[in-house]
Amino acid sequence: MERNNDKISSFQLGLILAVTMIGVGILTLPRTLTEVVGPDGWVVLLLAAFIALVIALVIAVLVKKFPQETVVEFSSSLIGKPLGMIISIGFFIYCILFSAMEVRIFGEITKEYLLLNTPIEVLMITLLLAAVYLIRSGIEPIARMAQIIFPVVVLIAVVIILPVLPELDLTNLLPVLKTPITKIIKAIPIIFFSFVGIELMLLFSAFVIEPQNIKKHVSFAVIMVSAVYMFILIVTVTRFGLVESTHIIWPSLELFKTIDLPGAFIENVEAFIIGIWILSLFMTLVTLYFGGSLIISRILKSKEQNYFVLPILPIIYFIALIPDNIAQVADYMDMISNYLSTFYVILLPILLLVISSFKKRKGGKKSA
């Protein structure tokens, strides 16, 4: 297999983005929404999903103009090399910071729920080494992995939740639209954290063999992820109630913890579900980590992206050790999503699309 020449379909790109988004956002989504807007969380989620869909379409239109190019190349040609370089380096830092926080969350949750006596450092290094193995194989194996994991994660999550449906109290979703409209609007950016992953289209679209179909498949990915979020949110809030949902650190995991499958051969459902969730988080780490190594290889004009995978590992590892506890991890995640995510998910794609429209630059060829 020739490195850096891997090709994926637009459908595979959609799945890569879907597993990235789910791994990041599904853990804290119910708590964050109920904390901010109470029973109107589903309204905010609906609005955020619509905006995420619009942003995904904006990025799809942008990347279609620059086939086989990543944001490293087309940002330099649109806004100049110095600014393009700053944006690319910032994107690299963004990928690395998010990867580090994902690794730390994996370590904290695995230690708390599964491997109580294993040092968190060992858990994190194990995950990083597994990620390195897949990332060094290129984008094509990553896409195949996403094809396997996404339907498995979604199907198992839905099937396992089904036994609790008769116990749900839908009155926990009332009253509807009690929250002031200004508060609902202010809550939308907070929920955007749950859709982090769309921006990786700025990097991975360079590998897509039929860029004309990116719009369709990425839209499908955002709609699917939004549906999963909505399902988890409604089940969590109606099961625990508003007050309890805001006091549980990982409400989605606690939801699965309370499930008792009738006549099931799996006794410890909690461990089984966390195992499935780890697969999803693993894919989130892989895509972000791969994104970081790809940016560096494009900046340095290297023929091989995988040269940079191992040197990046200690950087991610040591950043992951910086937070003192899980509360600080959540604070860092909020800061990253509030500033860097807002820029790379929303502002940068819109800015580059507007500039590209003015320059009338298409197909990666300079117009003047």
Instruction: Give the percent of the chain with pLDDT over 90.
Output: 38
Q: 291-306: per-residue pLDDT in tens?
A: 999 999 999 988 788 8
Mean per-residue pLDDT over the chain, rounded: 84
The whole model's pTM is what? 0.88
Q: 183-198: per-residue pLDDT in tens?
A: 888 777 777 777 888 8
Give the residue-averaged pLDDT of 312-340: 87
Look at residue 5 in the predicted model and tell me its pLDDT: 52
The Cα–Cα gap between 75 and 69 comes to 10
In this predicted structure, the answer to whether residue 274 has a pLDDT above a threshold of 80 is no
Q: 198-255: per-residue pLDDT in tens?
A: 899 999 999 999 888 899 999 999 999 888 888 888 888 888 777 777 777 777 777 7
Q: Which of 342, 301, 367, 283 is nearest to 70 (CA)?
A: 301
Q: Which residue has the higher pLDDT, 18 or 255?
A: 18
Please tell me the least confidently modeled range out of 59-63, 98-102, 180-184.
Answer: 180-184
Q: Which of 367, 368, 364, 366 is nearest to 72 (CA)?
A: 364
SS (H, E, C) 336-368: HHHHHHHHHHHHHHHHHHHHHHHHCCCCCCCCC
The Cα–Cα gap between 49 and 45 comes to 6
In the structure, what pLDDT confidence band is assigned to residue 354 with cuts at 50, 70 and 90?
A: very high
Please tell me the least confidently modeled range out of 67-71, 107-111, 158-162.
Answer: 158-162
Give the chain's length: 368
